[in-house]
Amino acid sequence: MDLNVGDILAEIARELHLNGSPIVLQWNTVSSGTLPEPVDGTVPASALVPQTMTLPAFVHQVQATGVSSVRQFNEVEVGDLILDFEGNAPIPEAGVEHRPGDRRSEVRDLVFVVPLPGSSPERPQFKAYVAKEISEKLAQSWDATVQGRQLMRSVLVRVKT
């Protein structure tokens, strides 16, 4: 049996569109030509350009009960969420530096705004989360790749404080 990766990716995209939660990503970019303060990396608020996009994701909440293979990793804590996006989801990368000739700007303050379970479309309720750093071992354990194509992109997030 031959695997048709294109069909698998199309089915994942369809399921995310039909059954995934809409995750709002919010972040700032530093306007072109603005150099951060060399000592602490700050930039004037006027140089920050707000950005937003919405992507569908499957949301998994880390629970205290039961045994989970994910809980064996120290960086995963009760209350964290695992967000599974499409493998090619255009999630902004924090810390991408602006390089001469590069059209990208540095990404700052990335927040994932997640709808709360049980909230209605008429009165949605949301909670803000930020990405957590994960170990190489954990990263290798959860993003499936078939024939060189990444099927899902998982992001571990914690409540924004």
Does position 98 have pLDDT exceeding 70, yes or no? no
Q: Report the C-alpha gap between 29 and 51 in whole angstroms.
A: 7
Q: Which residues constitute the domain of residue 49?
A: 5-159
Q: Hey, which residues does 26 pair with through a beta bridge?
A: 52, 111
pLDDT one-digit tens code per residue, 2-11:
668 889 889 9
Q: Report the C-alpha gap between 51 and 129 in whole angstroms.
A: 16
pLDDT one-digit tens code per residue, 103-126:
445 678 899 999 988 777 788 889
Give the pLDDT score at 135.
81
Give the pLDDT score at 94.
56
Provide the domain count of the chain. 1
pLDDT band for position 99 (cuts 50, 70, 90) = very low
pLDDT one-digit tens code per residue, 45-67:
888 888 999 999 999 988 776 55
Give the pLDDT score at 65.
62
